[in-house]
Structures are given as C-alpha cells and as structure tokens.
Structure 1
Amino acid sequence: MSNVYYVGSEPLTFDSIELILTQNMKLELSQEVRERIQRCRDYLDRKIEQQDGPLYGITTGFGSLCNKNISPDELSTLQENLVKSHACSVGDEVSPVIVRLMMLLKAHALSLGHSGVQVITVQRILDFFNNDVLPIVYDRGSLGASGDLAPLANLFLPLIGVGDVYYKGKKREAISVLDEFAWKPVRLKSKEGLALLNGTQFMSANGVFALMRAFRLSKKADTIAALSLEAFDGRIDPFMDCIQQMRPHPGQIETGAVFRRLLEGSELINRKKEHVQDPYSFRCIPQVHGATKDAINYVSGVLLTEINSVTDNPTIFPEEDKIISGGNFHGQPLAISFDFLAIALAELGNISERRVAQLIMGLRGLPEFLVANPGLNSGFMIPQYAAASMVSQNKMYCYASSSDSIVSSNGQEDHVSMGANAATKLFKVMDNLDHILAIELMNAAQGMEFRRPARTSPVLEKFLRDFRKEVPFIEDDIVMYTEIHRTVAFLRRYPL
C-alpha cells in the first residue's frame, strides 16, 4: 500500500484519517488538485483587478472593520497583520495529534478550490505535516464563529516565519526551523490570511479525535457491562432480539446483538435464575447504551460533512463568477453535536456507576463490598465513591456550550456557537468515563471470583484472564488507586 495520501483528491473518512495518523503517511497534492487551487487563485486575482466595489476581507478590513477599504499595495500586509493580531489562543498547549489533525483538515478544505489561496500556501502546510514541524497552539480563545480564529492564527503564524514550533521534540522559533529546511516564509496574498484563520478546523480536529475515542469507549462499556451482568447473575432476556425489534432503534438492536455475542456459551447466563428481573442499570442496557451508539453515529455524520466542507469566508465560485460572503464558518452544527455527544458519553458513566453500586450491596450471594471479610476490610467501598464523584462532575461538563453566545467585534459578530468549548470539554467527560469504566471492570472481575467454579463465555473469560495478568483479585485491603490506574491503562491499550 502506498504511504502517500493525496489531499483533496477524495473525501476524508475516519478510516483514512486514522491511517494517515497511525501509519505516518505523507501528504501530497495531485496535479489535478494543484490546478484546482491555482484556478481559484487566478480568478481572484483577476476579480480584484476588475472589481470596482469592495470585497469583504480581501479589499476591506475584518469584522466590524468591514467598511474600511484597503489600498491595493497593502493587501498582503493586511493578511499578515490579520494572522499576527488574531494569534490570541491561550491556556494549555494543544496535543500534537490535534495539531496534526488541524493541519490535515485545513489543507483538505483549502484544496477544494473555493478559498483563493496560493498553491505554495497549501504545500507549506503539507511540508510542516510531513516533517513533523508542529506549531504551538493553545486550547482556549475560540468563539466557534468566524471560525476558530485564535487557535488557527497560532497554527499558521509559522508559515510566515513568526511564532514557535516543536521540532524533533524541542521548542524552537519558527523562523529558525524554516531556515533549516531552506523554506522561505510564505508571502501571503489577498484573502489568504482570512482563508487560513476562517474555518472550523480546531473544533473539527478535536471532534474527530474525540469521536474516534468515543467509538472505542462504547465498545468497552458493552464488554465491561456484560461482565458485570454475569457477576450480578443477571438475565439474558432483556437482550433478546425479539424485544429490541418491538422498539427498533438501531443502537438498541445493535447493543442486544453485541451482548448476545459476548455472552454466547456462558454457563452463568444460561443457568436457572431465582429472580424474575434485574434492576434498570442491567435490564435497560440495550436502551441506554444503544441511545449512546445512535448519538455517536449522528455526530459522526455531522463531522464527516464538516471535514469535507469549505468553511472559510468569503467563498469563491470561479465557475459561477461569484464571491459570496456567508456564514459557513459558524460552528453551530458542531457545537450542538458535541454537547449531544458529551451527554451521551456521560450516560455511559452514569449507568456504569449504578451497576457498581448494585455489585457492592451484598445482593444475590455476593459479599458486601465484594470482599470476603467485610468489616475488617472495606473492599470496594470507596471506588464507588470515586465513580460517583466523576459521574457528578460529568453532569457539570454536560452544560450545553451551544446554548451560550457572547457578542463580539463591536456587534458585527453578534451570535457565536461556543463550539470550541463544547469540543474541548468532551475530553474531560471521556477521561472521567475511562476511570468510571475501569472501576466497574474491577468490581465486575472481583464479583466473578465469587461465582466460581461457574464460568462465563469464552470471550469474557479471555478478557478476564488478560485483565488478571495486570490487576489481581483483592483478598484483603490494599492501596486501591494504583489498581485503578493500572486498570485504566489496561483498558486504553486493550484491543476490543
């Protein structure tokens, strides 16, 4: 398989993005894409020469300064000033994988041929990506409308020889790295600074990375919940296909099928039960986990549309002879979706913690707090506290960023999405969910030992054996936080 990905030659998919990131693929522009980019640039140059009236952001100032006309000999300076003045992102440094995603997504959007940039501008972004020259970007400062102005400005300062980058693990001035590669700073032409800064690539990059992680978390939640069901001596009935078909939400049907597959061949699930039904946290897994699957799939559809869109402004249509100032930079579709995803993932943690609580109550033949000598030993009492704390914290993180807006740019940009805030807090929800699921796994695995010699399914027995290689059965009280950390690490690398 070729180790080259041709940017703009085909729509991006999550699979192609994962391959680019994990296989260290190099990015290139095909001749067709180069011609497409150049065709739009040539059209814009002609239009500027012929146009009598102002063109927003091209021959005018920005935002509320849109009525300030700029002379032809200052158009390049206008664009460089834009990048410098807008580089206001603050907070924590954005992780390298997000920076790489931002560059990939921006290069792809510019390569669609409606932004008016030079070929060299897109090529230099690819040069940075291919040589692991990573601009330093910070995670706060975007309103999620007019695009992600502040973080994207920080991302592209190094193109013009300003700002800082990481190269070979060291923080360097951008100009020194450009000199090392014999790259001249890009001399931005009209519209180019706006094309680089206007767009949703900070939101989208965070969203793509979060979504890829969300798919994995959903699978982990199913596997761990199946083990909890076995430890609790639960029933298979709520997972039968016939009941899912009576309410055929796709995620619910899928969850039922996943659990039947995970539990196939289990001695425990098939033995006669004394109880006629299970608590909601077990019985309603298809409905709750299924709703999260549907939410993840919805958000994936929104993101696929977004990352294959042109989101800078104005948008240039060479074939139609139009330059239109619109609002494709507005992050509302992403903001609402990310808030939705946060709620959906938080619910996986919410129901997981309830299963933990059921397992430690001393029900159905299990000892209190899952330890053989409760009283002298506290066993799994306090891990449930920790899980409950994180569940509660996730409820705070589920405040809808998309319901907020603050007027900016002297009232010209009077409604914003706050989609960047929605994107970055997703990772806080997911980090908590990682730990909540780890605590559930510890409880489920501990509970299973009290069901011996009965066995669960071959799939879950293998999962349990692999887990036990790293985290032991707990007979007497030990320091628990180290075991929680080991369990989190196990789950993050375990292939499901």
Structure 2
Amino acid sequence: MSSAKVNQERLILDGNHLTLLDVVRCARKPGVRFAISEDALPRIEKSRKWVEKVQQSGEPVVYGVNTGFGSKATVSISRNNLKQLQRNLIMSHSAGTGAPLPIEVVRAAMLLRANTLIKGYSGIRLAVIETLLQMLEKGVTPWIPEQGSVGASGDLAPLSHLTLVLSCDPHEDEKSNSGKAYYFHRDIEEWELLYGWEAMEFAGIPRIILEAKEGLALNNGTQVSTAILALTVYDVNQLVKKADIAMAMSLEALEGISSAFRKEIHQLRPHPGQVKTAQNIRRLTRGSKLLDRRPEKVQDAYSLRCHPQVLAGVRDGLDYICRILEIELNATNDNPVILPEIADRNKAISGGNFHAQPIAFAADFLAILASEIGSIAERRIARMSDKNLNGGLPSFLISNSGLSSGLMLAQYTAAALASENKSLAHPASVDSIPTCENQEDHVSMAPIAARKARKILQNVSKIVAIEMIYAAQALDLRMQSMNKNNGSDNPENILGEGTVIAYREIRKHVPFLEADRPIYKDIEAAERLVNSDTLLEKIESAGIDLV
C-alpha cells in the first residue's frame, strides 16, 4: 500500500499509511468521509480486552489505568473510580489559554489522533475512535486555545480540550463542562461556535463516557504540534514555487543574466533543491527579451544570482521535514502502550513516545527555512526600489518621485516582516522548563516551535506578495520603455513563457501604479493570490511544470 486508501472522498485508515496530502485534504475539506480498515480491528480489540481485564481485576498496576498521572503515578485508584479518573483527567487538563487554534489545525489533529489510535496499541474502545471520526465527518470541531502545551507529555492541554467535547461525566454531567466546539452548517457553509454538547447534539453524535485508559489515550500525544507542522510544511512547499515565480519576474525586471541558471553550473554542485530551483527559473523565463540585455554587466547581485543555491537549502530541508512527518503521522505516541503479543504479565509498557522533540526540531528548522525565503525576496524588493540599483527605473517605481512616494513603504513593510521573522526563528526546542513536580523534567516546546513556523509562513507570504507587486510594476515600466523604441505593447512578445502568465494574473488583482494610492489594498490582494492555488494552476496548465 502506498497511502491510506481513498475512494470517492472516503479515506480508509489503518494507522500505517496516512500521508501529508491526506491530512491537508481532510483538514481543509469537511466533506471527506472515513472508514477504519478491517485489518486494524483485531489489533484494537486485543489491546482493549487486556485493559478491560485489568479494569475488572485491578491487577497488575498499570500507569493511567489504576494509578494517578504524572508525579501521582504511585497513587492507586480503586476500581469504582476508574471512569471518574479519566473524566477528571480531561477536565483538569483542559487548561489552555490564548486565541483558538484554526479549525483546519484542530481537524488535522483529530485525524492524526484517530489514526494513531487505530494502530491498536492504545487500549481504547472502537466506539471512541468512531466517535472521533464522526465528529470529523459531521462537522464538529472542538475549540482549542493555542497556548498551554510544552510538548511533553504530548500536547496534554489542547488534546484535553478536544476530548472535553467528545466525552461526558459518568455521573452528573454538567453541560457547561463540555467545552466549546464549532459546528459546520453545510447549507450555508459556515462554522458556528457553540457549547460542546450543543455541537454534538446538532450533529446527532452521542458523547462518550470514558472507560479505563481512554482519557489518557486521547490526550497523550503529539498530534496538535504535528498538525500545525504538517499544514505549515505543505504550505511552505507550495510557497517555494511561488517564490521562484516572484524571483523570475524580478530577474526580468532587473534585466538579469540568465547564465547563472544554466544547467551545467548546477550539475557541478548537484544539491537536488538547487537543480530544481534553477530549472524552475529557466522554465519561467524561457523566451524573455528582458534578460541578457546589458553586455556591460558581468554578473548580478547575490539575491538574483544565488537564488538557486539559497533555495537549495530550503527545498532539501523541506524534504527532511517531510520524512520526519511521514513517521510521526503513523506513529503510536501515547503512554503507556499496550502490547498484547508480549509474554510479560504486564502488557502495558511505559515509555516516552509522547515526547515531541523530533517535531520541535523539525518545526524550528522549518522556521529558519521559511525565514530565508523572505530574507532573499526582501533584498530583491529593495533593489527594485532603489534607483541606484534597479537599472534605470525611477525611485520607488513611480513617476514624479518626490511628489509621489510610489512603492516606498511597501519595502519598509517587507523589511519589517523579514526582521520579525529573524526573532521568530530563534529555536524554541533549545528551551525546557520542568513540569509536574519535576517528574516531567525535560520537555520539547514543540507546539511553540510549530506556531512560530506558521507565523513566519504568514509573514513570508506577504513578502512574496510584495515582491510580485514590485516586479509587475517594474516590468510595466520596462515594457513602456521598450514600446517607445519598437512599438510593441504585447507582454507575450517580451516576457518569459511563465512570467507573462504570472504578470497577467497579478494585473487582474493589482493594477499598475500611476499615482499614489493606499498600498495596503494592493498587498492584501496580492497576498490572497499568493495564498491561493490560482497562480500555480495557471502556469502549470500552460505546460510549465514547476518542481
């Protein structure tokens, strides 16, 4: 099997073959339906039967089944209190704060948690997993505050907020303790924030009374950190291609030299990402009349000439992060794990699979990679803005410079975003603060790392959008100059095969700047274009495949 099976918007989960594309599609498309692979059912049943045996007999002593949690692992819990133990765990650990996580992040986390439970080593009932999948199918998304997790033991607080909606008290269920959840109204395609119990009632999903181990199986894992990282790395992978488009337009706008992107150069230092980037620039600028026009220029500035070498590190680094995710998406990462096959009497093994250090390192690395996309793009923006560096174009790419300021402040904005990214890129994973009476004395800070990477992505999308605005403006000025000389006013006769498509698309959203106007509107319009798939789809539908 190459991936989780998909059949007409139906994803079959087996705990072993979930892909990044599966996660993105399910997080962002509420209509996907789910099924559990028949092959997974015996594993789920075996581990649950062993937990139920312990629940009935009280032996052996198993962490989180008949003991307290964390530093209270030595406290024995009577059989009569095992259900209340799990509900208490979820209520007490619902201690997050801050703005809510985006709905797509929570949906991704729900899918990831279901997938790891389906692996069959968590000791949870099939009915609980099915409830989680029903929530995904029927549009119930728990409201989860973004702050409160240190990434070990897993994402306890955010996953507890998730479970608060799914579960109810075994005795007197106080509805106000059901948390909050968004409910998706399919008829109007809008989300409404409700109490958890209300959202579940709207969807027709009964809330579950948790049995032994089930609260711990639901809140002890890396799924929130991994969900943020997964969606962010997917988006950065897409943004890299758009950064190549912006760079190709800037290269033409600055009448750059094409030889720096020749295949022969990059074969001599064949980092895969470098070869791919140079190939993209060649494809986008093929046929351009703006390149190699100035024989007096021997070589371009680094921000143009070294773009493939810089993005080599970005692209190859992204490949590494995706390999980490391939493992984590299909990993068992709660504690303890139930291993029915082993000969030991106690089949619950305590370990540290919940520790999110691999995710924390990957997220911090992603933050650095994304920052660099923005850093080099800002330098190209600055060159186009500066009359001393832009090859004869007016200051800030506006006529009557002085009376008019043109795109002056857009470069300030790009510089501010690039500088902010430098602070955000400081690694969270090098920090650790002990928790739980020093039982949990080393933690990963993975969710902080992942959230910072996501913020950097948002900033870099804005920088790339600003570069596209600058490049389109500079290209118009170049073409106006050329038209005076040869009378041609058709961009298709002047620009590269790919850059002309990008130019035309940008001009649908951001008109040529003839006089000063509020630039924030242009930035917002260009950012929407960058964040959509339209630009890539238009270019690739023309037979220009970007890698």
TM-score (norm 1): 0.96
Gap runs ≥5 in structure 1: none
User: What does residue range 188-227 of structure 1 map to in structure 2 within 5 Å?
Assistant: 188-227=210-249
Change (3 A) 1:146 1:21: closer
Moved more, 261-270 or 196-205: 261-270
Tell me, in whole angstroms, the C-alpha distance in 2 between the residues paired with 1:374 and 1:179.
Answer: 62
Tell me, in whole angstroms, the C-alpha distance in 1 between the residues paired with 2:24 and 2:194.
Answer: 28
Structure 1 residue 270: deviation in Å?
4.7
Q: Deviations over 1:425-462 (max 9, x none)?
A: 12211111111111111111111122223712122112
Q: Deviations over 1:35-91 (max 9, x none)?
A: 321121012223555674421111211111011111122111111110111001111
1:488 paired residue number: 527
Tell me, in whole angstroms, the C-alpha distance in 2 between the residues paired with 1:179 and 1:395.
Answer: 46
Equivalent residue of 2:310, what SS?
A: helix
Aligned amino acid, residue 254 of structure 1: K
Q: 1:387 and 2:414 equivalent? A: yes
Moved more, 484-493 or 227-236: 484-493
Tell me, in whole angstroms, the C-alpha distance in 1 between the residues paired with 2:223 and 2:474.
Answer: 45
**Kept after mapping to 2: 8 A contact 1:210/1:426:** yes
User: What does residue range 26-425 of structure 1 map to in structure 2 within 5 Å?
Assistant: 26-47=33-54, 52-161=59-168, 162-167=178-183, 168=185, 169-180=191-202, 183-271=205-293, 273-321=295-343, 322-362=347-387, 363=389, 364-425=391-452
2:459 paired residue number: 432
Q: Deviations over 1:127-161 (max 9, x none)?
A: 11110011111100000010000000001111113
Aligned amino acid, residue 498 of structure 2: V
Equivalent residue of 2:116, what SS?
A: helix
Moved more, 442-451 or 105-114: 442-451
Structure 1 residue 271: deviation in Å?
4.0
Q: Deviations over 1:328-375 (max 9, x none)?
A: 101110111101100110111111111111112213222222122222
Aligned amino acid, residue 481 of structure 1: Y
**Kept after mapping to 2: 8 A contact 1:378/1:477:** yes
Tell me, in whole angstroms, the C-alpha distance in 2 between the residues paired with 1:255 and 1:376.
Answer: 40
Moved more, 439-448 or 405-414: 439-448
Aligned amino acid, residue 204 of structure 1: T
Tell me, in whole angstroms, the C-alpha distance in 2 between the residues paired with 1:15 and 1:185.
Answer: 30
**Kept after mapping to 2: 8 A contact 1:8/1:108:** yes
2:188 paired residue number: none
Tell me, in whole angstroms, the C-alpha distance in 2 between the residues paired with 1:51 and 1:124.
Answer: 27
Tell me, in whole angstroms, the C-alpha distance in 2 between the residues paired with 1:233 and 1:180.
Answer: 60
Tell me, in whole angstroms, the C-alpha distance in 2 between the residues paired with 1:10 and 1:4.
Answer: 17
**Kept after mapping to 2: 8 A contact 1:222/1:289:** no
Equivalent residue of 1:403, what SS?
A: coil
Q: Deviations over 1:277-327 (max 9, x none)?
A: 111111110111221111111111111111110010011111124321000
Tell me, in whole angstroms, the C-alpha distance in 2 between the residues paired with 1:320 and 1:228.
Answer: 62
Gap runs ≥5 in structure 2: 1-6, 169-177, 186-190, 483-492, 537-547
**Kept after mapping to 1: 8 A contact 2:180/2:194:** yes
Tell me, in whole angstroms, the C-alpha distance in 2 between the residues paired with 1:172 and 1:44.
Answer: 34
Tell me, in whole angstroms, the C-alpha distance in 1 between the residues paired with 2:477 and 2:166.
Answer: 62
Aligned amino acid, residue 20 of structure 1: C
Moved more, 428-437 or 140-149: 428-437
**Kept after mapping to 2: 8 A contact 1:235/1:273:** no
Tell me, in whole angstroms, the C-alpha distance in 2 between the residues paired with 1:271 and 1:279.
Answer: 16
Change (3 A) 1:319 1:343: same
Structure 1 residue 232: deviation in Å?
0.6
2:485 paired residue number: none
Aligned amino acid, residue 291 of structure 2: I
Tell me, in whole angstroms, the C-alpha distance in 2 between the residues paired with 1:177 and 1:299.
Answer: 35
Tell me, in whole angstroms, the C-alpha distance in 2 between the residues paired with 1:465 and 1:233.
Answer: 19
Picking from 514, 522, 528, the partner of 1:475 is 514
CA RMSD of aligned residues (A): 1.7
Picking from 22, 38, 41, the partner of 1:16 is 22
Tell me, in whole angstroms, the C-alpha distance in 1 between the residues paired with 2:28 and 2:415.
Answer: 35
Structure 1 residue 204: deviation in Å?
0.8
Aligned amino acid, residue 347 of structure 1: E
Q: Deviations over 1:156-201 (max 9, x none)?
A: 1111132222223333222334445554431211111111010001
**Kept after mapping to 2: 8 A contact 1:269/1:456:** no
Structure 1 residue 9: deviation in Å?
6.0
